[in-house]
Amino acid sequence: MSLESKALLPGLLEEEAKCQFTRFTSEDALKLGLGIIDIAKTNFTRPITIDITLAGNQLFRYAMDGTSPDNSQWIQRKSNTVLRFRHSSFYMGQYCASQGVSFGQKYYVSETEYACHGGSFPLIIKNVGVVGTITVSGLAQQDDHNLVVKAITEHIKTQ
């Protein structure tokens, strides 16, 4: 059992409670996606791939030079995790670590279809729930997660 993971869980749930939208449109996806790119270019040297999907409709997708199809596979697997469990992929990984079990063991899911590594965050509409995903791949998992949370937080301030 990881005590460090267990200590992170309340803060990760708090992020999910705070990072909720009152509405989300294609224009919001564009602004949020461009915001993620700006934050990434300012703070990191590694390339990333970004995906924002609402109700199964991909509203934004961008792959920086230097990314590969692997990044797209990670995005799909992390997004599947968020859509199934309704929590960020980072939360799910930390939750399993706090229980001392692997994700596959705990939930009997294939790791070729699901990934509990940071970078996918639920697109949540207040009083509605999870309606999509905002996902980044290319950095260390906690950096992927924090990048998405920072961009959402900044975007919500402008709504």
Alpha helices in 19-137 (DSSP H): 26-43, 69-85, 89-99, 103-107
Q: What is the pLDDT of residues 104-157, one digit of tens each?
A: 999 999 999 999 999 999 999 999 999 999 999 999 999 999 999 999 999 999
Q: Which fold has domain 3-158?
A: Beta-Lactamase (3.30.450)
SS3 of 144, please? Answer: helix
Domain positions in the chain are 3-158
pLDDT (tens digit per residue) in 36-77: 999 999 999 999 999 999 999 999 999 999 999 999 999 999
Nearest-5° Cα angle at 141, 139 to 147? 65
Q: Which two tokens stand for residue 129?
A: 């729930």
Residue 122: which H helix or E strand, with range? strand 120-125
Helix (H, G, I), strand (E, B) or coil at 108: coil
Q: Is the pTM of this model over 0.85?
A: yes
